[in-house]
């Protein structure tokens, strides 16, 4: 589905509306990762009744990643990177915790993700620092490998978790 919508490199309003309807008609896909996050993103896009150009560009980028499209594009939209996480992922606590939101997320923009952390009493930044408790890796594209090496310096207290795990604790 994603490949058909992105093949011409343009997302029309009618295509975005079709995708929203298609996900509603296919709950099995819309209830699993990343379909669930794409559906949630579409809900936010349609919440104000209009599709902005920024939302359209961001959605096109997201669909390219979901389809693992190999069309050449700027380095900032490189295909997803697979990361290895601990077998036992931790409980995620937000109150008075510091989060580094790294990479690109299916569920929303950095601003949206940061807001989710802050409204639960935490703090979110785009860069690691010694006070970071959780490094959340976006499923669309992870952080720069240099950032992961930096994470090794803080590994004793740092919990590295994938976007899908972090999302479970937002409800």
Asked if pLDDT for residue 70 goes beyond 50, the answer is: no
Q: What is the pLDDT of residue 83?
A: 54
- Model confidence at 86, in pLDDT bands (50, 70, 90)? low
Contact 71, 9 (CB under 8 A): yes
What is the per-residue pLDDT across 100-158, written as a single tens digit (0 to 9) for each? Answer: 998 888 888 888 899 999 999 999 998 888 899 999 988 877 676 666 777 777 777 78
Is the whole model's pTM more than 0.85, yes or no?
no
More confident of the two residues 123 and 163: 123
**What are the residue ranges spanned by the domains of the chain?**
2-72, 98-168
What is the per-residue pLDDT across 12-23, written as a single tens digit (0 to 9) for each? Answer: 888 888 888 888
Q: Where are the beta strands (DSSP E) in 10-168?
A: 98-102, 123-125, 134-137, 159-162
Topology of domain 98-168 in CATH is: Rossmann fold (3.40.50)
Return the structure tokens found at 57.
Answer: 């560009």
Q: Residue 19 forms beta bridges with which residues?
A: none
Q: Residue 136 forms beta bridges with which residues?
A: 101, 161
Return the structure tokens found at 32.
Answer: 């699993």
From residue 41, alpha-carbon distances to 58, 88, 90 in Å are 10, 28, 26
């Amino acid at each position: 589905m994603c490949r058909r919508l992105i093949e011409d490199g343009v997302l029309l309003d009618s295509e975005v509306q079709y995708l929203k309807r298609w996900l509603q008609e296919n709950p099995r896909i819309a209830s699993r990762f990343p379909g669930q996050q794409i559906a949630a993103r579409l809900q936010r896009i349609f919440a104000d009744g209009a599709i902005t150009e920024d939302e359209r560009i961001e959605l096109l980028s997201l669909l390219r990643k979901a389809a693992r499209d190999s069309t050449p594009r700027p380095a900032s939209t490189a295909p997803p990177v697979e990361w290895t996480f601990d077998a036992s992922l931790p409980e995620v606590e937000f109150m008075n915790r510091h989060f580094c939101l790294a990479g690109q997320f299916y569920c929303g923009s950095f601003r949206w993700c940061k807001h989710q952390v802050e409204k639960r009493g935490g703090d979110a930044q785009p860069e690691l620092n010694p006070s970071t408790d959780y490094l959340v890796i976006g499923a669309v594209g992870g952080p720069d490998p240099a950032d992961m090496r930096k994470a090794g310096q803080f590994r004793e207290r740092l919990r590295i978790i994938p976007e899908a795990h972090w999302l479970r604790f937002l409800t």
